Structure 1
Amino acid sequence: MADIKYYDVILKPVVTEKTMNQMSEKKYTFLVHVDANKCMIKEAVQKMFAGVKVASVNTMNCAGKERRRGKDVGKTAATKKAIVKLTEDSADIEIFEGL
């Protein structure tokens, strides 16, 4: 886990109707590396986006789903989501501005 760089921690933003509504409360949702912990996620967000202060991080582990192709049964990859809450005096994250 020590060899994970901050730009490898955050994989992509999660853009859904629910996450767009949470942005008014300064909560942003990201898909993150499965081995990343809350401290790593907080540090990565503050380094990637200038002027951003993280108040709290909530994480969710999502298990892979079973999928079938004929008789063969496999699993999709497990994922991890993080909801990052910013402080009130923090700047907004710019990648969500045009959405």
Structure 2
Amino acid sequence: MNYIVRSLKIIISQHISEKSSFMLEKNNIFIFKVLKNANKLEIKYALEKIFDIKVKSVYTLILKGKKKRHGKYIGKRNGYKKAYVTLKKGQKLDFININK
């Protein structure tokens, strides 16, 4: 039971950018924002259980938060961890029809 709850918390969101769209079309690679303390095996297990797909590999990296200025005040955005997930051949991930 604990693994199922943790799996739902690991995947925060899909990372949407021009680069991620290009990687999806060309190499069948999805990019997700994940918890900073999640390892590759947990990310793979979570995606396979939640979306019922087969994952080939997972690459991760941690991005530092950028410094931003609002008038005379300087702040910092939060950093996050990204996971590049390669699906096996023939696998597709459809976010619209997950429960069908």
Common fold: TM-score over 0.5: yes
Deviation, 1:73, is 2.6
Aligned positions, number: 94
Given the two structures, how large is their TM-score scaled by the length of structure 1?
0.82
Structure 2's unaligned 5+ residue stretches are none
Give the aligned partner of residue 35 of structure 1: 37
Q: CA 1:26–1:19 in 2, change beyond 3 Å: closer, same or farther?
A: same
TM-score, length basis structure 2: 0.81
C-alpha separation in 1, matches of 2:39 and 2:96: 23
- 1:8 matched to which residue of 2? 9
Structure 1 consecutive aligned stretches of length 4 or more whose deviation exceeds 4 Å: none
The residue type paired with residue 92 of structure 1 is K
CA distance in 1, matches of 2:28, 2:96: 11
Alignment of 1:26-65 (within 5 A): 26-50=28-52, 52-65=53-66
2:92 paired with 1:82: no
C-alpha distance in 2, partners of 1:69/1:30?
A: 29
* Aligned-pair identity (%): 32
Coordinate RMSD, CA, aligned: 2.2
Cα deviation, residue 95, structure 1: 1.3
